[in-house]
Amino acid sequence: KAGVTQTPRYLIKTRGQQVTLSCSPISGHRSVSWYQQTPGQGLQFLFEYFSETQRNKGNFPGRFSGRQFSNSRSEMNVSTLELGDSALYLCASSLDPSGKVRSYNEQFFGPGTRLTVL
């Protein structure tokens, strides 16, 4: 079974631009979570989607948004990029068959998209 895929793997943008990152979860996984990884702040949760609905959101400004499609693929968008948005953005998928909160649901991570803002 194919793992979580993320595209593109690398992006270079300039301040003020916007960017869209894509994530394809493992087949059959319905939950997709997004994280930002930086040397200073570590791994921080952005948001989680299940069945096209955002169920949870981290403490990030409204410039960060996402969506999920009916095939569980997800995108995240960052508008009006700032230098501090340079980071590795990681997507993770989880089976979550019941749609209920199960803390033991494992998350499987993709390789990430490295975003550099100049």
Which of 13/55 has CB closer to another protein? Answer: 55
Does 35 sit near another protein (CB under 8 A)? yes
Does 64 sit near another protein (CB under 8 A)? no
Which of 70/100 has CB closer to another protein? Answer: 100
Does 60 sit near another protein (CB under 8 A)? no
- The side-by-side arrangement of strands in the sheet containing 74-78 is 5-7, 19-24, 74-78, 64-68
CB-based contacts of 71, cutoff 8 Å, min separation 6: none
CB 22 within 8 A of CB 37: no
β partners of residue 14: none
Interface residues with another protein (CB under 8 A) are: 4, 31-33, 35, 42-43, 45, 48-50, 55-56, 58, 90, 92, 94, 96, 101-112
